[in-house]
Structure 1
């Protein structure tokens, strides 16, 4: 049994979500409270992380930034957010879910304040790069948040819980894009600083609520992310395989979310000649993808993560082919339909892929118990490895967003369109589908 600590009463002095009587009596209520606050804080983190996907739409001629430079401005925060995910997962082990959530949310004040300070015409491109990079702190909290929520829920509900947590966080991408549209439509493109100034009050309120409403589970319950556990999962080919799949799902989602507005303005510049026109459509794909991420987790709970993930990648290949055909034909309606399908499918694939992590280590724990291992030791090992792989896969997967933005940058710089990038995405989805089949679903595959 594991003690729950924190300022909010939990109604229980231990934590054992697999005990159905405990779960019904008090565990579910405590888990929901922590999940709710985790979603709120992660939502703000994703909003700040993707802030520059909107701010680049404000950068008119006075900022002297070409389309390739704007893709770099969105790639940098993606990269830093990916790099920070492992340290954030370590911090969860050291400080606990409640404490680290408060700290990680307060760190969001730095990039928002800097953006509000420097965004004036004539600012140097180097300054913009540094400030955009600072927004990466918004992406680091995903790994610690997911590992924290994973510990609160029983195995049978992990797919749904992780999907809700991630989906609610992912909604920060369309959230900041909608706020950007509001600023553009009311104040105009001449006032970009208004957008980052909207966030400090929300950040302070979220930090106060997290401090009051969340709980710190001790390491034995939350799973520890330490060098030893990372070495364990790094030696497991499964860990690298699922990380590669996460590049294809989450990397696509966050990369497209950051780049979509610029793609519309650059490829269909005659139809999106003002930032408002691009911003009016930018949010739709990330919104649908975020809303459907919990559905992917729920489908994985029912049908198994590998089957749902394989179906998602097969459909994403069709979506990428549709976008390529639409790009070559100059068909905006078909282009939008293909891209929105990619957002939706990447959201579904996100949920199902993350479900595969706890499912794998839960199965290994059952096998260890059948072979004579102490059940408590097997369960602790499963939690430790799950938390470590969540951190590792989240870090590697987020770099997919960097690759998406770099692919667009090079494609538009070389040919004036995104056709080369769309071909690369199609090939990547075919490879991910083949990997899913080979590792998990082919006859005789080790499960």
Structure 2
């Protein structure tokens, strides 16, 4: 008899005896194979069999494919973050080119992209199982042409009304949605033992876009003595097109990511989805909120200090430390690392309050350095907790006899990542608005600083209550109290 191995070598992809190996792409038009999950597409790059937990498969094929997808996922996500945070830099230059908006109005322009991005993260998460990770990366990258093109149009006419600026700033939220779909997609590529570093690198590469935009756009603006503000948007267009083409050519769709919407909605019914969402407001919400607000805040509180020239450094530090948070979570447990993060962030807010009350620029910059660093580590540690929590719940359900519990937990973890990132991104709206409202009402940001300091203390208590108390762990998540959570 002819072996399956021999058939694989001799039969072409259209031959009825052709056997597709794990990790192999189904060619356009190739008939579905027995055992293919979901409803395979008839065209495009779809990997039908993906088994990253199989160490042999991972060494032979999986790692190489996952790394290739990670590289181009990072490229697209990096540009998405750059577009999302574009207005954090542009607002500082608007008064110089003739737009007489109030400080509170400027803070609204900074905050609106985060609000829209937060809302969009939910449908963007569901887009991955519906359209495929590679396909959606292409589409979402091309959508970034809208906010960059509209920004160039809006700033080119001094008569552009404020309401139109708000509308254009809202379209920048398209860049914020990309993170959820990118992280959901990449969560399927990596085995559980490597999710911390895999997701950490993907997130860090994207988060670096906040630093890139705050470093590059001022250079472009200053080179034209303030007359080239339109190029703050136009400069990204060629890069956006390159990222879309690269995603189309070099990324893959995973059949394992396909799941009916009702299966993903199960994640919304899990209490831990919402607990982690609150913690993510404290970590990622802080990171994106401070990144967006710092240039305008520094200019308002310390005018003519030149602090905005170094605004990109805070976002840079936070981005680079995100994978460190993932690694520390892999080693010591995400809950333990997250607990320490909130201790440091509460201390950072206390230092910031002293800086604001005393008018010390040095303390102001130092406090933000602490907050950026801690939030970066916290981004990695909280995200590492999500797949671990859902895996443990799946294992417990499987032991209780629930069929296909592990696969369901994987699907729900991917959906939970999107929900958590959506709620967390809302912090990027709350922080700029808190500063704007505090300045408008009292002339100082002290009220907003105090409020967020108390919120970090609350997050500290939530982390301990749900994930560090041994009695709770034993009762609710029996095997959660090890170093992988």
TM-score by length of 2: 0.87
Instruction: Provide the C-alpha distance between the structure 1 equivalents of 2:58 and 2:45, rounded to a whole number of angstroms.
Output: 12
2:181 to 144, 148, 152: 144
Q: CA deviation at 1:11?
A: 13
1:367 to 387, 393, 396: 396
Instruction: Provide the C-alpha distance between the structure 2 equivalents of 1:367 and 1:438, rounded to a whole number of angstroms.
Output: 21
| Residue in structure 2 matched with residue 178 of structure 1 by the alignment | 215
| Residue in structure 2 matched with residue 312 of structure 1 by the alignment | 341
The answer on 1:86 being equivalent to 2:122 is yes
Give 1:210-359 correspondences, 5 Å limit: 210-218=247-255, 221-222=256-257, 224=259, 226-230=261-265, 232-269=266-303, 271-272=304-305, 277-359=306-388
Instruction: Provide the C-alpha distance between the structure 1 equivalents of 2:389 and 2:25, rounded to a whole number of angstroms.
Output: 26
Instruction: Provide the C-alpha distance between the structure 1 equivalents of 2:400 and 2:126, rounded to a whole number of angstroms.
Output: 31
Does the 8 Å contact 1:6/1:214 carry over to 2? no
Q: CA deviation at 1:228?
A: 4.3
Does the 8 Å contact 1:78/1:401 carry over to 2? yes
SS at match of 2:472: coil
| Residue in structure 1 matched with residue 17 of structure 2 by the alignment | none
Give ranges in structure 2 of 5+ residues lacking alignment: 1-21, 29-43, 478-485
Does the 8 Å contact 2:263/2:412 carry over to 1? no
| Residue in structure 1 matched with residue 227 of structure 2 by the alignment | 190
Does the 8 Å contact 2:25/2:46 carry over to 1? no
2:468 to 434, 441, 446: 441
1:103 to 139, 150, 153: 139
Q: What is the aligned length?
A: 437
Give RMSD over aligned pairs: 1.9
| Residue in structure 2 matched with residue 73 of structure 1 by the alignment | 109
Q: CA deviation at 1:326?
A: 0.9
| Residue in structure 2 matched with residue 425 of structure 1 by the alignment | 452
Does the 8 Å contact 2:263/2:408 carry over to 1? no
Q: 1:256 to 1:225 in 2, by over 3 A?
A: farther
Q: CA deviation at 1:12?
A: 8.2
Bigger RCO of structures 1 and 2 (CA < 8 A, at least 6 apart): 1
Does the 8 Å contact 1:316/1:341 carry over to 2? yes
Does the 8 Å contact 2:221/2:232 carry over to 1? no
Q: CA deviation at 1:240?
A: 0.9
Does the 8 Å contact 2:47/2:253 carry over to 1? no
Q: 1:378 to 1:53 in 2, by over 3 A?
A: same
Instruction: Provide the C-alpha distance between the structure 1 equivalents of 2:470 and 2:47, rounded to a whole number of angstroms.
Output: 45
| Residue in structure 1 matched with residue 36 of structure 2 by the alignment | none
Structure with the greater alpha carbon radius of gyration: 2
1:50 to 70, 74, 85: 85
Q: CA deviation at 1:184?
A: 3.1
Q: CA deviation at 1:121?
A: 2.2
Q: 1:261 to 1:370 in 2, by over 3 A?
A: same
| Residue in structure 1 matched with residue 245 of structure 2 by the alignment | 208
Instruction: Provide the C-alpha distance between the structure 2 equivalents of 1:401 and 1:5, rounded to a whole number of angstroms.
Output: 41
Does the 8 Å contact 2:132/2:258 carry over to 1? no
Q: CA deviation at 1:415?
A: 1.9
The answer on 1:403 being equivalent to 2:430 is yes
Q: CA deviation at 1:312?
A: 0.4
Q: CA deviation at 1:234?
A: 2.5
SS at match of 1:115: helix
Q: CA deviation at 1:223?
A: 5.4
Does the 8 Å contact 1:58/1:190 carry over to 2? no
Q: 1:433 to 1:4 in 2, by over 3 A?
A: farther
Q: CA deviation at 1:421?
A: 0.9
| Residue in structure 1 matched with residue 51 of structure 2 by the alignment | 16
Does the 8 Å contact 2:53/2:191 carry over to 1? yes
